[in-house]
A and B are shown apart, each in its own frame.
Chain A
């Protein structure tokens, strides 16, 4: 297979220049792919997919009656990120996460940012992730957002924008590691390219978790809390626990006793000091949040408030996961760090502001409208592709609950060549790097490149027909 008839069309292509020649950082990869014997790429792609299915690297699709697991579709052509592209991304993400963390801490303490008129109190109090129970809490090292997955997109002019910040329980990092493992096994094109490794993520994650243990515990014991085997990200929970060598627990394994969190083992009860929880705040503790939750542990929140156990990410962090709050992050960076934002936001219209709302309602067919608090691409309006009925339905929703909606112009996401049968075609991608915050801030080189496999589609979510690619950051 060759790239001879590959067409970048009018989009920014991550691998090729508009004149059809390979970008300097992609040249050697292009040569290697083109030098493979006929049919070899297809064979290796199939081998990779078999390997993913057999190791059970799957996700569950909600709303699918059969509860079938599917493999997260995987494309064999990697995305290459040059060092020159990566360096500002890394600096920009560190800057952003530091500002967000200061913001969350401020929200639950003095609210200086409100007093100084930068972010309206309304926006904070109406954020779905805001938890009054967290007022006054001082988590170890002052860290709230220990693990962040920030979605980046590149527009047609080559600018890289932040699309959203995922600060609750960002998922997908296991695919980054498994994609790399599968690529290494089935497609050894790496040699001599200087691809930065991702394999040390689990040990960095573990160090971070150990660094934020309760102050009075010397060698904290870590566990991962999962909602269970039917959760769509269960594979990842299990994978990370296994890679870190810690227990993967469910709520029913845990009990608050002797003023500590304890897990039930075959030899009696054992203490847990740091809980990397992959369940939402609402489900953590039925005595404090949703009473019907069977996923959490009665008494956990009280224990946490008294510093007897660390929860990662900290409860209440979701206040900054809101897409209205997102719009204020550039101002937060200036306010807390006195710096210019390195990575810009996508221009965002906040429907609760009268002027913005009028604009949004007038330009609905051109805009992407998103619920402020949802993720996974659920409940989103893709204006340019919507039917008149869908547009009307959204218009009504926006008018009824303007706080719940934001709108952004269509960003023509950049593309990467993707195998379609026996040829390559451009498909739109985003990038979700993962950022760890404990003793300091660490950004995993690369992250999850999600690709919209449907021709022309700009929606990359796995639940909406997206797949993924290995991401090679060059050193």
Chain B
């Protein structure tokens, strides 16, 4: 018996690309509420392009993105931003901005441009800073911080949006091992305790298998494998998707699949 599921975010015949190049020709993907999905695949497989198209950051080249069953374009962009938070890879550090000022921007969709004319320092920002371990760095300039600390600031900004859906593009990039684990546990906790739906692009397959409910393996813009980690992190899939010859064993702590290259 599986509990009934609701699709919160879906690509319907979705084609995605940058400029004139189409990276993802046509793809159907349905993301269930309260799950953590990891998009994996080699460089250039289209996973980030797909994520940014689902996030309406890139316009679809064909097909539709459905948010809560309706075309995402049916809602205003700011309404979408109250439901769906995005962590892009390409965030720009404004010259001289502090961590707190960047995290404050996460409040924009909820409060709107007029309320945001007043300086914000509320419990939502406080919580986002605490969850990302940034309370001590809150008043530091972002451009004086390490790559990992900056990445946590962007994650804190996304958390401050307080959305039910989070789309994270390579959230563990630049993070040291300790902060990678903290972030993955945070993601798991957001999902398990608050029912937040997470779709993220990850490069570390073992990390994906350990913390995600579902892996979607992409290559050349098509889905080559889709399912729970045990079904996706297998030697045949690793060979087909990554050209990697590997052994998969149960990881000694959780028993989830764990791959080692041969």
Are A and B a genuine interacting pair, yes or no?
no
Residues of chain A at the chain B interface (Cβ within 8 Å): none
